Amino acid sequence: MIAAYYQGMFYVSILLAIIYMIIWHKRLDTHITLMFILVPITNMGYFMASQAHSLEAAVLASKLTYIGGCFLLLDIMMGIFSLCDIKIPMWLKVILLVLSCSVYMSVLSADQNTLFYKSVSYRQMGGAVVLDKEFGIMHHVFYAMVFLYFVMSLWALAYSYAKKNQVSRKIIALLFIPEAASMAGFFLGRPIFDGVDIIPAAYNIALLIFLLIVYRISLYNISDSAIESMVQSGETGFVSFDFKMNYLGSNATAKRMMPALSKMTVDRPASKNKFVQETVIKWLEDFKQDETKDTVLYEEYGTIYLVNITYLYDGIKNRGYQLFIKDDTKNQEYIKLINSFNSELRKEVDAKTEHIIEVQDSFVLGMATVVESRDNSTGGHIKRTSDVVRMLVNEIKKENIFDVPDSFFRNVIKAAPMHDFGKIAVDDAILRKPGKLTPEEYASMKTHAAEGARIVREILKGTDDKEFSRIAENVAHYHHEYWDGSGYPKGLKGDQIPLEARIMAIADVYDALASRRAYKEGMPADKINDIILTGMGIQFDRALEPYYLRARKKIEDYYTYTEH
């Protein structure tokens, strides 16, 4: 009867292991798999012990049964920690494994020394050999080790129940059952059932519970469930290649999306297929050179597929490339529609913006003309100074030692007509006086710079182009500042004067010297050039001298053929 019990427990453990093999998948915890290997081996030891008819056979069988105590309980404990998502330091794992191995080595050598058994005798019971043992020091270590594994497992379960919200309470409750059964088997079984060990039954209960846990964790593991669902749904194609561009396999969906895959052979170079060589291999080579190129659009028979490329991992090891293929036709058609709409909208916005800019420029030029009509000049000052600014700017752009954007140069040319806006606030009697101004009149005239800045600020305060607003205001405000600090209205010096105002100052002075007035004739070009060059480093920025010299001939030719 006793032998039948052990035989039944052994067969049950084999059956449970077979069931586990059927439902096994590679993402299951390694410790769980090891349990379904160790329990049948341990139960086989108990069955062999029940069939032994000699002391030697009984001792050999006993050595097999201690596999459970030394390694199975350690593995169960490790599995519990893993399922509860509690990390065990590597050094502690090594210590516990060394401990188990040391105890089991003493078991294996029990017939050679007295470390595990001081003495062993046997007696017949129910037709089988039963061992009567006197335990040695290592057997006490064995029980202490078993107790340690139980305590650590119970601590992990209690801690997880109290602190780990992401661990299923049902799994924690289920894990208590094999722990309780194993503890009962080790510490209560023999006293209750004389001659019969309930540990094999406890181990089978543990396997049965872990089968239930395997079923439940397949539901709780969201990432695994999601992957399985994605593969089974048929909406996403999967294709794998190793680093040597050998084809590793693909699912049915991928073969439907890329019929050429059906003709390929696993573990053969993908380059043997012309279509794959011209498409997939090219994508993988591009990804190999630049990992940002991980997305490709591929069209087949009017269907647009989105291909995402990533590395193929085996655990933490990188083994090759993985392609995820999905029908993206509707999304791409939507994007195309949006892009078309945006393109049309952009054209309309650009046209509206261009019209607004044209209106704004016309307003600026119109207002500049009004201001100019009040002056005692012969007219054309606004246009001439703007043209001279353009000539200077074109030379500065060639080197751009000032490290300013191209928009700066466009905005300086655009702002030039606004430099004298402030003259609209100057009294006509002063503005049109043909002779030299008195100190009081000159002081009034100098207010046009600050007043011009205020007017420009008011005119442009609603515009979105902040750079142009700043440049235009600076041109109006500071074009009469001198490099040595003797100018007006602020007396700025050197680099304190904005670059745009320094450029404007050269053009403004040149035109004032070259143009006729009621009280003077225009100066000849050579004399103007001497005055400009003499003023470099005093009135003007010497850094602008090379660009003035390069533009000089164009400026002189311009004034030769322009009324001034």
Tally the residues of the chain. 564
CATH 1.20.1070 residue ranges of the chain are: 2-225
**Confidence label for 557 from pLDDT (cuts 50, 70 and 90):** very high
Q: Which of 288, 282, 328, 322 is nearest to 306 (CA)?
A: 328
Q: Which of 283, 246, 251 is nearest to 266 (CA)?
A: 246
Q: Which of 484, 417, 428, 487 is nearest to 452 (CA)?
A: 417
271 pLDDT more than 90: no
Q: Which of 70-74, 189-193, 289-293, 481-485 has the lowest mean pLDDT?
A: 189-193
Question: Dmax over Cα atoms in the chain, in whole Å?
Answer: 143
**Confidence label for 378 from pLDDT (cuts 50, 70 and 90):** very low
Classified as helix, coil or strand, 226 is helix
In the numeric block, which tokens belong to residue 38? Answer: 């160790």
The residues, any chain, with a CB within 8 Å of residue 175's CB and separated by 6 or more, are: 80, 83, 84, 153, 157, 209, 213
Find the angle CA(543)-CA(548)-CA(549) to the nearest 5 degrees: 105
In the numeric block, which tokens belong to residue 404? Answer: 């300013």
Would you identify the CATH topology of the domain 2-225? Rhopdopsin 7-helix transmembrane proteins (1.20.1070)
Q: Which of 410, 425, 496 is nearest to 456 (CA)?
A: 425
User: Residue 464: its pLDDT value, please?
Assistant: 77
pLDDT in tens, 59-70: 888 888 888 888
Mean local confidence (pLDDT), 408-434: 85
Q: Label the pairing between strands 317-327 and 303-314.
A: antiparallel
Given 1.10.3210.10, 2.40.110.10, 3.40.50.1860, 3.40.50.10860, which CATH number is that of 347-560? 1.10.3210.10
505 pLDDT more than 90: yes
Name residue 166's beta-bridge partners.
Answer: none
202 pLDDT more than 90: no
Question: What is the C-alpha to C-alpha distance for residues 251 and 493, in angstroms, rounded to an integer?
Answer: 76
Would you identify the CATH topology of the domain 234-327? Beta-Lactamase (3.30.450)
CATH 1.10.3210.10 residue ranges of the chain are: 347-560
Write out the H or E segment, with its range, that includes residue 490: none
Mean local confidence (pLDDT), 517-537: 89
Higher per-residue confidence, 437 vs 350: 437
